[in-house]
């Protein structure tokens, strides 16, 4: 019997498992497919705060707190595994073809300045000093120096290796059907094949599939899949250095010349696939920003399902069932929120005060949609 059963082996689940194991707990992770097979390994790896959140808010402060932790967190992960997860403090730029709109973009990002996240307003010439391949039609930008990027598949691989070395048991192909509750307390899980596994505590971190697990006191549909389509381009030499946000797309580069172009936002259930219209729109937006990408090769395309809640805030903490915890619903911010989520869940499970206020993210809160 494990001290803790973690449902889901994405970046969130694996980071929680690693943190708990390093605190001395025996942990078993149960994954329906393979580690990182959901949104984690297929994310673009953008670690953004100010372009994702436009005002001082609980989710903005949570993202900022997590990004603050990233350099030390990644350094520790590298020391444990020797794996370069591609973390680059490259900064991000929200660019515009209209100078007035660039002013607005800069103002939107100023809410985070008291938290140590500055904003630089650049004109067209200043933009191209930093990113020479940006279109001459780009009139200005808001640059966010603290934003960063990483390679999500490498992150998941490093987390899996570090967790295994810390003693975490990782079981792939284990589809959890139900959380077993006895006497109003979580006692384990029941797998789809009928196998029952006992655990002193259970953490639900199954991403978009979280709401499908029975025995969890969450409202129907509180977590639903949001499909995001991404196009990966490859060039002979890197054409951009930092993350670029523009009309209709964002660009997340890699050191080897790849550029990830994302992303759609679609509520189509669990319907997989990449559509011609989405690829066309993403490529048109990308080439408008960086004309040199017109000569890039399309390396591959894919889609993933990001877990969305009605108010677009994550579910973090304890439920009404003793011993049952949730870490899900991170929507578009799963990778950036990974370090702080692991820290929060570790504290809550140990009965300690979490590092930040998590009341706005309570799994049992009342929710109203943002749309």
Model confidence pLDDT, tens digit, residues 320-354: 999 999 999 999 999 999 999 999 999 999 999 99
At residue 205, the pLDDT reads: 98
Give alpha helix (H) positions in 6-136.
11-22, 39-42, 58-81, 99-109, 124-130
Instruction: Write down the residue that tokens 């979490």 correspond to.
Output: 354
Contact (Cβ atoms closer than 8 angstroms) between residue 158 and residue 76: no
Quick one: tokens of 369? 């949609």
Q: Give the mean model confidence (pLDDT) for residues 255-277.
A: 96
Q: Give the model's confidence band at 371: pLDDT under 50 very low, under 70 low, under 90 confident, else very high.
A: very low
At residue 54, the pLDDT reads: 87
Window from 31-40, 145-154, 176-185, 307-316 with minimum mean pLDDT = 31-40
Flag whether pLDDT at 319 surpasses 60. Answer: yes
In whole angstroms, give the CA distance from residue 297 to residue 174: 37
Q: Give the mean model confidence (pLDDT) for residues 133-153.
A: 97
Phi-psi region of 116 (alpha: psi -120 to 50; beta: other; left: phi over 0): left
Q: Give the model's confidence band at 368: pLDDT under 50 very low, under 70 low, under 90 confident, else very high.
A: confident
The pTM score is: 0.96
Q: Give the mean model confidence (pLDDT) for residues 258-271.
A: 96
Q: Give the mean model confidence (pLDDT) for residues 241-262.
A: 96
Q: Give the mean model confidence (pLDDT) for residues 30-49.
A: 92
- Provide the 10 A C-beta neighbour count for residue 201: 22
Q: Give the mean model confidence (pLDDT) for residues 143-164.
A: 97
Contact (Cβ atoms closer than 8 angstroms) between residue 223 and residue 307: yes
The residues with which 5 forms a beta bridge, in sequence order, are 28, 202
At residue 37, the pLDDT reads: 87
In whole angstroms, give the CA distance from residue 291 to residue 49: 27
In whole angstroms, give the CA distance from residue 229 to residue 303: 4
At residue 70, the pLDDT reads: 98
CA-derived radius of gyration, the chain? 21
Mean pLDDT of the chain: 96
Flag whether pLDDT at 369 surpasses 70. Answer: no
- In percent, the amount of the chain with pLDDT more than 70 equals 99
Domain boundaries, the chain: 2-80+152-221+310-361, 91-145+224-308
Residue 225, burial from CB neighbour count under 10 angstroms (0-12, 13-18, 19+): buried
Flag whether pLDDT at 27 surpasses 60. Answer: yes
At residue 134, the pLDDT reads: 98
Q: Give the mean model confidence (pLDDT) for residues 290-311.
A: 97
- Provide the 10 A C-beta neighbour count for residue 142: 26
Quick one: tokens of 131? 């990113």
| C-alpha distances out from residue 321 to 6, 183, 207, 358, Å | 16, 9, 20, 18
What is the per-residue pLDDT across 205-245, written as a single tens digit (0 to 9) for each?
Answer: 999 999 999 999 988 789 999 999 999 999 999 999 999 99
At residue 327, the pLDDT reads: 99
In whole angstroms, give the CA distance from residue 2 to residue 201: 8
What is the per-residue pLDDT across 44-85, written as a single tens digit (0 to 9) for each?
Answer: 999 999 988 988 999 999 999 999 999 999 999 999 999 999
At residue 81, the pLDDT reads: 98
Nearest to 341 by CA among 63, 153, 112, 84: 63
Same fold, 2-80+152-221+310-361 and 91-145+224-308: no
Q: Give the model's confidence band at 1: pLDDT under 50 very low, under 70 low, under 90 confident, else very high.
A: confident
Fold of 91-145+224-308: D-Amino Acid Oxidase; Chain A, domain 2 (3.30.9)
Element of type H or E holding 343: helix 338-349
Residues contacting residue 144 through CB under 8 Å, at least 6 positions apart? 48, 49, 50, 51, 91, 92, 93, 94, 109, 117, 118, 119, 120
In whole angstroms, give the CA distance from residue 182 to residue 202: 13
Instruction: Write down the residue that tokens 């498992």 correspond to.
Output: 17
Alpha carbon 295 to chain centroid, angstroms: 30
Q: Give the mean model confidence (pLDDT) for residues 92-113.
A: 96
Task: Give the CATH class of 2-80+152-221+310-361.
Answer: alpha beta
């Amino acid at each position: 019997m494990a001290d803790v059963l973690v449902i889901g082996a994405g970046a969130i689940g694996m980071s929680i498992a690693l943190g708990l194991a390093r605190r001395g707990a025996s942990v078993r992770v149960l994954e329906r497919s393979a580690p990182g097979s959901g949104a984690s390994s297929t994310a673009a790896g953008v670690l953004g705060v100010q372009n994702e959140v436009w005002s001082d808010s609980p989710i903005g402060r949570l993202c900022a707190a997590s990004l603050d932790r990233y350099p030390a967190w990644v350094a520790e992960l590298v020391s444990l595994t020797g794996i370069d997860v591609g973390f680059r403090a490259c900064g991000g730029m929200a660019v515009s073809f209209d100078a007035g709109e660039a002013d607005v973009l800069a103002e939107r990002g100023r809410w985070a300045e008291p938290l140590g996240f500055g904003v630089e307003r650049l004109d067209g010439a200043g933009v191209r000093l930093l990113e020479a391949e940006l279109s001459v039609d780009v009139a200005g930008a808001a640059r966010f120096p603290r934003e960063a990027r990483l390679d999500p598949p490498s992150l998941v691989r490093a987390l899996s290796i570090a967790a295994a070395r810390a003693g975490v048991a990782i079981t792939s192909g284990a589809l959890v059907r139900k959380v077993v509750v006895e006497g109003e307390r979580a006692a384990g899980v029941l797998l789809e094949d009928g196998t029952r596994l006992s655990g002193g505590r259970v953490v639900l971190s199954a991403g978009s599939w979280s709401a499908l697990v029975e025995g969890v006191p969450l409202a129907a549909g509180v977590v639903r899949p949001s499909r995001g389509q991404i196009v990966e381009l490859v060039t002979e030499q890197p054409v951009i250095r930092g993350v670029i946000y523009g009309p209709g797309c964002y660009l997340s580069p890699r050191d080897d010349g790849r550029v990830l172009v994302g992303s759609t936002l679609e509520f189509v259930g669990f319907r997989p696939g990449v559509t011609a219209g989405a690829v066309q729109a993403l490529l048109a937006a990308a080439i408008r920003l960086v004309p040199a990408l017109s000569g890039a090769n399309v390396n591959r395309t894919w889609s993933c399902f990001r877990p969305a809640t009605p108010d677009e805030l994550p579910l973090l903490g304890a439920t009404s069932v003793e011993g049952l915890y949730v870490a899900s619903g991170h929507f578009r911010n799963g990778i950036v929120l990974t370090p702080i989520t692991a820290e929060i869940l570790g504290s809550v499970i140990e009965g300690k005060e979490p590092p930040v206020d998590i009341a706005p993210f309570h799994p049992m809160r009342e929710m109203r949609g943002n749309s």
